[in-house]
Structure 1
Amino acid sequence: MPRFLHTADWQMGRTYSRFETEDSAALSEARYQAIERLAALATEHQCDAVLVAGDVFDAQTVSDRTIRRVFNATQGFSGPWVMLPGNHDAALAESVWTRAKRLDAVPENVHLALKSGTTPLPEQGLAVLAAPLTQRHTYGDLTQPFEQMTTPPGLLRIGLAHGSVQGVLPDDIDSTNPIAPDRTETANLDYLALGDWHGLKEINERTWYSGTPEPERFRNNEAGYVLVVDIEEPGAAPRVTPHETARYRWHQWRETLSVASDLDELIQRINQLPEASVLDLKLNGTLTLAGEQKLTEALSIAEARFRSVTCDRSGLQLEPTDDDIAALQADGYLGEVVQELRQSQQETDNSEGAEIARDALAILAGLLTSKDPEAAR
């Protein structure tokens, strides 16, 4: 029974400029480790081939070192690999693929599907019908020629394409590189392995997106998997098994804090995250000075545990309680300043002014607390 591994959207050479240098390097390195993990999975599960449905590289301009490292990372699986150009690494006349060939970086067991056509793998029982992108965007369905492609008798007809299944994916990514939702039927395919959508997604029992093996953005779309596909014989229904490959999990939370219990629940959720987390927070609402100090401490602990933590507090207003002010012992002039900053948050006409007042209040509270440690207790 033929068995193959379906993966896509490696986006090798991707940079993470929004992160600190150390975190950016770790996230980039995790993508090479993902290739090594899926190669090991293919070997462990005795797969006959690995099919990569486009966007192996994030750009045509990736370094020679990146090209070599990508192909080096495939060494854990000695069977055939079939790699398809996607919209990020389209098979242009001069492309990342032609450079890879000139560098002699492509192993003998890696087949580059740079032209529309069939890659027969008779020993593996597969015939791979490829629809490579030869430019970044097209408006015609490149999988339509599958209907006229002939394959040797007895081999599974496996389509390999990169694009948007029409009428299924969100409208904002449903305009270029279209793919008919019934292509497996019209082209008599046993399976259609797709890339472009970065999350795991079943279109129908024979048509799947594997998603990227390592998440690279904040989107709740089941990224971080590869698919092992078993098909007993031509015409039989595929058995598709997802396998998790992600090193890091990305979490983006948008929270509104109103009462003390909201902050307690948020901190509890943060503490429950695994260490291999990338966390992006944006907070709105109100917070007492005691709550601000509690939040700051919790985020400091999280920053030491997780791969990356960012927190936008610009939507938070600090509202000192009478107990906060009493604990700060901000009498006289200092007490007046605290009250003025408290009022400025609410009365300023622009968000920048409110943020400045909030930050000033937090800094002042921190200074007063550091002078009197008992005030924080």
Structure 2
Amino acid sequence: MKFIHTADWQLGMTRHFLSGEAQPRFSGARLDAVRRIGELAAEEGCGFVLVCGDVFESNQIDRQVLVRALDAMASTPQVTFYLLPGNHDPLDAASIYRSRRFREHQPANVVVLESPQPVPVGEGVELVAAPLTSKRPLRDLVDQACTLQEPTEALRIIAGHGALDSRSPDADNPALITLARLEERIEAGEIHYVALGDRHSTTDEGTSSRVWYSGAPEPTDYDEIDPGNVLVVELEPGHIEVRPHRVGTWTFERHESHLASDADIDALEEWLASLEDKERTIVKLSAVGQVSVAQRARLDRLLELQTDLLAAFEPWERRTDLVVLPDDADFEVLGLSGFAHEGLCDLRDLASSGDDQEALAARDGLALLHRLSGTAQ
């Protein structure tokens, strides 16, 4: 049996740092990933696609997102999509899976996993699910689903969503999935693969190589490690092969830049120029160091350009500490005289007076003056 393990599509997700046309492109890319997953399953000869929770961002997503998602899955009718409710889209009273809109548009190849009842997915292979019925479960639903099953000769795939106890700092969380118990069941031959969702980073857990988080098919944040994948799983008695396959097209980048000279700004400019597919790249920049007014003006021009080119460009505020110290060269190139020169000197004195709001405003004003004069290269 070969199948695709994926999770955390979170269709309908928005991001506060995306503005203008970037948010629609971000949303569209997530729907495009659904189509690519179906096409990959068909190309690989997979029996089905297993989506382990958080298919949707919430149970209150826009109708258009829902119908487009179902249409994307329907575009490969030969592939069955099994959808597991997660903490974002739990199977509660307001569940999107029980809504009239979902039922009206649900294609024949989309199946919602609503209970731990084993589902045959191939000859000698069955799927056991642990759907979430609330955002905050009060027990280990994966272990509970396994406990409910009778012994079988079939290969068993377990579908769950949530944090493993081996990773969570909250040891008192009753919903944590117990990794050691899963490994015991695998060793005993009770279960043969555990497909998990919730962690957006592609991760092989434990020591058996049979417990995996697929990660999100499109990145969602900076902290994720190796996101943008789905897992192609080939399972047979005594053998398993799990192969990550990249489907994501967006990138989140954090970058720390230490600035003290024109050469440092050159290096930052080169790094930004090296980024590919800028309209699908989101950058958070840390700028630390000491620059002149002219260098600050040059930096502002560079960052303004990148704001227009990138999908999103935001300062890494907790790690940004850029000091602007005016020097004589900053003012000589302006060639001002008379009242203008006197005003410039006043700004310079104020900018050098400390780090209060007036001094910071004066430095910003000097940098702007450099930019308007056209002297910043």
Query: Smaller-chain TM-score range?
Result: 0.7 to 0.9
Distance in 2 (CA, whole Å) between partners of 1:336 and 1:175 is 65
Distance in 2 (CA, whole Å) between partners of 1:277 and 1:174 is 38
Distance in 1 (CA, whole Å) between partners of 2:239 and 2:75 is 29
Distance in 1 (CA, whole Å) between partners of 2:358 and 2:199 is 40
User: Residue 262 of structure 1 is aligned with which of 261, 264, 284?
Assistant: 264
* Identity level (%): 30
- Counterpart of 2:303, as a letter, is L
Deviation sequence 1:84-141 (CA, Å, 0-9, x none): 0000100002311111565422222222112233222134x53111111100012311
Contact 1:164 1:176 in 2 (8 A): no
- Counterpart of 2:311, as a letter, is R
Residue 370 (structure 2) pairs with residue 365 (structure 1): yes
Contact 1:100 1:106 in 2 (8 A): no
| Residues 203-212 or 305-314, more deviating | 305-314
- Counterpart of 1:127, as a letter, is E
Indicate the residue corresponding to 1:197 in structure 2: 199
| Residues 294-303 or 244-253, more deviating | 294-303
Q: CA deviation at 1:353?
A: 4.3
Residue 155 (structure 2) pairs with residue 150 (structure 1): no
Indicate the residue corresponding to 2:333 in structure 1: 327
- Counterpart of 1:54, as a letter, is G
Distance in 2 (CA, whole Å) between partners of 1:152 and 1:194 is 22
Distance in 2 (CA, whole Å) between partners of 1:260 and 1:218 is 28
- Counterpart of 1:228, as a letter, is V
Indicate the residue corresponding to 1:109 in structure 2: 109
- Counterpart of 2:120, as a letter, is P
- Counterpart of 2:86, as a letter, is G
Q: Which runs of 5+ in 2 are unaligned?
A: none
Q: 1:117 to 1:347 in 2, by over 3 A?
A: farther
Indicate the residue corresponding to 1:286 in structure 2: 290
| TM-score calculated relative to the size of structure 2 | 0.88
Q: CA deviation at 1:198?
A: 1.1
- Counterpart of 1:357, as a letter, is A
Distance in 2 (CA, whole Å) between partners of 1:122 and 1:151 is 18
Alignment of 1:5-24 (within 5 A): 5-24=4-23
User: Residue 318 of structure 1 is aligned with which of 321, 324, 332?
Assistant: 324
Indicate the residue corresponding to 2:250 in structure 1: 248
Alignment of 1:209-228 (within 5 A): 209-228=213-232
Q: 1:198 to 1:307 in 2, by over 3 A?
A: same
- Counterpart of 1:229, as a letter, is V
- Counterpart of 1:70, as a letter, is A
Deviation sequence 1:309-336 (CA, Å, 0-9, x none): 2346874232233222211124455445
Alignment of 1:332-343 (within 5 A): 333-343=339-349
Indicate the residue corresponding to 1:178 in structure 2: 176
Deviation sequence 1:172-217 (CA, Å, 0-9, x none): 6994631011243343221111111111111130111111101122
Indicate the residue corresponding to 2:81 in structure 1: 81
Q: CA deviation at 1:12?
A: 0.8
Kindly report the root-mean-square deviation, in angstroms, between the aligned alpha carbons of the 2 structures.
2.5
| Residues 180-189 or 103-112, more deviating | 180-189
Residue 138 (structure 2) pairs with residue 139 (structure 1): yes
- Counterpart of 2:180, as a letter, is D
Q: Which runs of 5+ in 1 are unaligned?
A: none
Distance in 2 (CA, whole Å) between partners of 1:150 and 1:332 is 93
- Counterpart of 1:225, as a letter, is N
Distance in 1 (CA, whole Å) between partners of 2:292 and 2:9 is 44
Distance in 1 (CA, whole Å) between partners of 2:283 and 2:252 is 6
Indicate the residue corresponding to 2:99 in structure 1: 99
| TM-score calculated relative to the size of structure 1 | 0.88
